[in-house]
Structure 1
Amino acid sequence: MVSYFTLDATGETTNFQKEIANMMHGFGDNPNPNAATVLLVENIVLQQLRTMLQEAIGLSNTRGSKAITNYDIIYLMRKNKFKLKRLHDYQLKLDQLDKTKQVALNTPTDTLMSGVMLEDEKDPTMKKRRTHIDVIKELDETDEVAQIKFDVIDYLRKIRADKITESMSFDKYEVYHKARCSSFRSGYGLSKGFVKLERWINPTKELKITVSALEVLCFLAYETIAEIVDAVFLIRQDAKKKYGDPFGKFEGGHFCNPVSLNNAVYIKSGYEGVPAITVAEVREVLRRYFTSRIGMNGLFYRNMCMDLPVRYLAL
């Protein structure tokens, strides 16, 4: 399998294979993920992010903005209220961490904020930078996001993590904890934390992307990997269905009966019985997700390529 990454201005190739392997481990994959699978997932995430940027450019130009901001990326998420809620909660956690760090360092808020701004944002005539929560409130005119009180996706992922760590030794748990902390940020709090991410998705520096936009892209890239891993486990669950058992399909998945969840294939105690995710399984996830259901003949619809909208795994 060949990676299609491009070289940046310095002639170096940027990749997130180590981080993605750790994230897959944290979401429930084997502690030694398949290298070919990691490369495939990396290609998928990169392609998804660059496609998002292409859409965001059009919206940014329409608004008359010189750079892609968090508004342009969040606007692409406007139809998925649950993802907006997750981003909303993510922002609250970041704000809390910023406050904690500010108290620890005894650093004024203005100093921290100035470190986050890019050069094109340091305009004295510019209004206060809108946070992700501000943008979400602006797009959520009917308060649908505010009415979401329970995050079922996060709940199921936590159950899986709990079951996986039940019989772990301390050494294995320490490795697993580090994997759970992995992300697309190379640092926390300052703009340097997104240098590697920007170099990865924008190697030629053609686009002007604000730090706030990179933060949302970081969140969506993380969610893309999570969705892929979740879908693989659901596929494995389908493969273990007992035909003739009307309740077989409710073992795990989105059915939140704790007794049934104990039998779910993707939350067995320990990693010894969990095989690494394969390339074939990831391709099956993509096949199911992108299968066209437009028209009477599905994939054989003549004008399929003209009617299919751009789709994102994280949205």
Structure 2
Amino acid sequence: MTSSYTFSTDLKGEVVVNFQKEISNMMHGFGDNPNPNAATVLLVENIVLQQLRAMLQEALNYSFMRGGKNISNYDLIYLVRKNTLKLKRLHDYQIKLDKIDKNRAAADPVISNLILDEAKDSKKRRTHIDVIKELDEADEVEEIKFDAIDYLRKVRADKITESMSFEKYEAYHKARCKSFRSNHVSKSFNKLEVWVNPTRELKISVPALEVLSFLAYETVAEIVDGVFFIRQDAKKKSGDPFSKFEGGYFCNPVSLNNAVYIKSGYEGVPAITVAEVREVLRRYFSPGLGMNGLFSRNINNELPQRYIAI
């Protein structure tokens, strides 16, 4: 299937690809202002690209160790093996995608033929769920029944949309649907592959690109989450432990009544700034923070390199 994207080239004739529009929509979907700061979007895009390329290099090492000829979904999921919550999220993500594809196939015969062709290819390889079950020897993923971070994101989205007009809700819904897939009809990741691997030096399988797309999406989400935690932390008053829950930008998952913004809906949310994103990075990667750090939930000291999405 040919790509629906046309890629521009620079003066050297090299392909130029960016995900600034998609990331801008994703940030809005996660709670940022409907008009995200352009400099912030560019910074987030650079962070995501650096993280993905580092993941691919580490996954390539695992591939060589097991005698593989390309980077597979196993190699990337192996990076996530210590974070059972992210494995659970990837597991559920695969189930949702399969359900969406099934519904689309039932509604459109053209899409049905595309999905059937992909299904034939998928039988020859292990799915993400197969790999997760293989790596999760203690069945810890199946034991996870509640994802607090995912719930917090849903609460935030609920508060953002509670007083929206239909037109604004439609735009917000489209922003929430954005991803790193090339299109929503077929599992095409041509644009993503050109973005992370412009020289085609690495051989990356389609399932691996799907996992990479998931990790890229989670990276954007974690950065936005981190900014909201920083804003929450900034509202604390000395001697008043509950001051940080007083409205502002934080959504308290325990009580929907406290999950408010400055104004009802998303208009009152200031656009995320470059300084806030840099502060998120500082807190993520500062070794001195340790387990007492604000963002310690994803820090795994056993990994050769720390990744925001892992």
Q: TM-score, normalised by structure 2?
A: 0.85
What is the RMSD of the two structures over their aligned residues, measured on CA atoms? 2.8
Matched, 1:150 2:153: no
Question: What residue is the counterpart of 2:226 in the other structure?
Answer: 231
Hey, what's the Cα distance between the residues in 2 that align with 1:33 and 1:92? Answer: 31
**1:249-294 CA-partner distances (Å, limit 9, x unpaired):** 456868532156335x5x8521221110000000000001100139
- For 1:269, the equivalent position in structure 2 comes to 264
CA contact (8 A) 1:59 1:72 kept: yes
Does residue 257 (structure 1) correspond to residue 254 (structure 2)? The answer is: yes
1:202 is aligned to 197
Partners of 2:75 and 2:11 in 1: CA distance: 24
Aligned-residue offset at 1:111: 6.1
- Partner amino acid for 2:278? R
How do 1:94-109 residues align onto structure 2 when only pairs under 5 Å count?
A: 94-106=97-109
Work out which of the residue numbers 77, 93, 106 in structure 2 matches 1:90: 93
Does structure 1 residue 71 correspond to structure 2 residue 62?
no
Give the AA of the match of 1:43: N
Q: How does 1:1-315 map to 2 (within 5 A)?
A: 11-106=14-109, 112=115, 114-115=117-118, 128-191=124-187, 193-249=188-244, 256-258=253-255, 261-263=258-260, 265=261, 269-293=264-288, 309-315=304-310
Contact 1:166 1:270 in 2 (8 A): yes
The 1:235/1:8 distance shift into structure 2, 3 A limit, reads farther
Contact 1:56 1:72 in 2 (8 A): yes
Asked whether the 8 Å contact 1:9–1:204 carries over to 2, the reply is: no
Match of 1:299 in 2: none
Distance 1:110 1:60, change over 3 A: farther
Count matched residues. Answer: 289
State the alpha-carbon separation in 2 of the partners of residues 112 and 308 from structure 1.
Answer: 36
Match of 1:302 in 2: none
Q: C-alpha displacement at 1:241, in angstroms?
A: 1.1
Q: Is the 8 A contact 1:49 1:221 kept in 2?
A: yes
Identity of matched residues, %: 69
Provide structure 2 residue ranges, at least 5 long, that are not aligned to the other structure.
1-8, 291-301
- Separation in 1, partners of 2:102, 2:93: 14
Partner of 2:4: none
Which stretches of structure 1, 4 residues or more, deviate above 4 A after TM superposition? 6-10, 106-111, 249-255
Q: TM-score, normalised by structure 1?
A: 0.84
**Partner Cα distance (2:199, 2:225) in 1:** 33
Query: 1:223-254 CA distances to partner (integer Å, 9 max, x unpaired)?
Result: 00000001001101111112211333456868
* CA shift in 2, pair 1:261/1:308, >3 Å: same
**Within 1, Cα distance between the matches of 2:89 and 2:284?**
21
Measure the CA separation in 2 of the matches of 1:83 and 1:308. Answer: 15
- 1:259 and 1:111 map into 2 onto residues whose CA distance is 42
Residue 174 to residue 268, structure 1, CA distance change in 2 (3 Å): same
Cα gap change, 1:255 to 1:271, in 2 (>3 Å): closer
Q: Matched residues in 1 for 2:47 and 2:72: separation?
A: 23
Give, in whole Å, the separation in 1 of the partners of 2:31 and 2:276: 14
Change beyond 3 A, Cα 1:32–1:159: same
Shift of 1:135: 0.3
Paired residues of 1:31 and 1:271 also in contact (CA < 8 A): yes
